[in-house]
Amino acid sequence: MPRFYGVEVDSALMLGTARYASPSILADAFRASGADVATVSLRREQGGGQAFWQLISELDVHILPNTAGCHTVKEAVTTAHMAREVFDTRWIKLEVIGNADTLQPDVFGLVEAARILADDGFEVFPYCTEDLIVCDRLLDAGCQILMPWGAPIGSGLGISNVRAMRSLRAHFPDVPMVIDAGIGLPSHAAQAMELGFDAVLLNTAVSKAGDPVAMAQAMALAVQAGRAAFIAEPIEPIDMAVPSTPVIGKAFLT
């Protein structure tokens, strides 16, 4: 099972709590997914009030507040401090958005905010790009986990740069890593796990599916299959055929 900052969670699937059609669908989707971590925006919690917080509490999952929508270091740090007070947790999913269209992280602000928060006792889950240098800087800043995007948030494109993700996983073999953003299909989630990542975090792929509960279950099965495949050590792809039936001992007819 994945372990984040010394806490072992029961599932490699992490779910967001935004954009569901109703609170009951959200709750049913979480139960179908088996997810043990829920990301919650401080803005969303305030918008839903006590009823929303009660719903999340009843899910009996680990809460991972995020700084969604923050575009500056100051805004992200302030939001993180507020979230720590509201949710009573040192965990924070740190987002510092650099581009309003792609929602790509501002990696310079991200590293700065991560250092500030880590020094203040937060356990930071940074939403970052797959760049090796950026990830190295985040680890130096005090992060003990990396959360590279697969593709832009909500795009459903899957993992856009598989080669870079494979390189990132190999470069930091002992660092817990979560593919965060861009997952649209169970096959995308399975691929992330097949690459050796520890977990997948998604929201839109479930919350906006035609049947969120069925999709949540499908995603749960996908991460399990992907993890099992990684552990099983898949064969390496090659450019030519290899017969599955050996020719040695085969009868030759004339």
Instruction: Supply the residues annotated as catalytic.
Output: 93
The alpha carbon of 246 is separated from its chain's Cα centroid by a whole number of angstroms, namely 43
Binding positions are 154, 181-182, 203-204
What DSSP state is assigned to residue 97? B
- Distance CA(186)–CA(184), nearest Å, equals 7
Closest CA to 101 of 140, 154, 158: 154
The answer to whether the CB of 138 falls within 8 A of the CB of 106 is no
- Distance CA(222)–CA(187), nearest Å, equals 7
Binding positions for 1-deoxy-D-xylulose 5-phosphate are 154, 181-182, 203-204
The H-assigned helical ranges of 141-211 are 162-171, 186-194, 204-207
The answer to whether the CB of 16 falls within 8 A of the CB of 38 is yes
The alpha carbon of 134 is separated from its chain's Cα centroid by a whole number of angstroms, namely 17
Q: Is 142 left (phi over 0), alpha (psi -120 to 50) or beta?
A: left
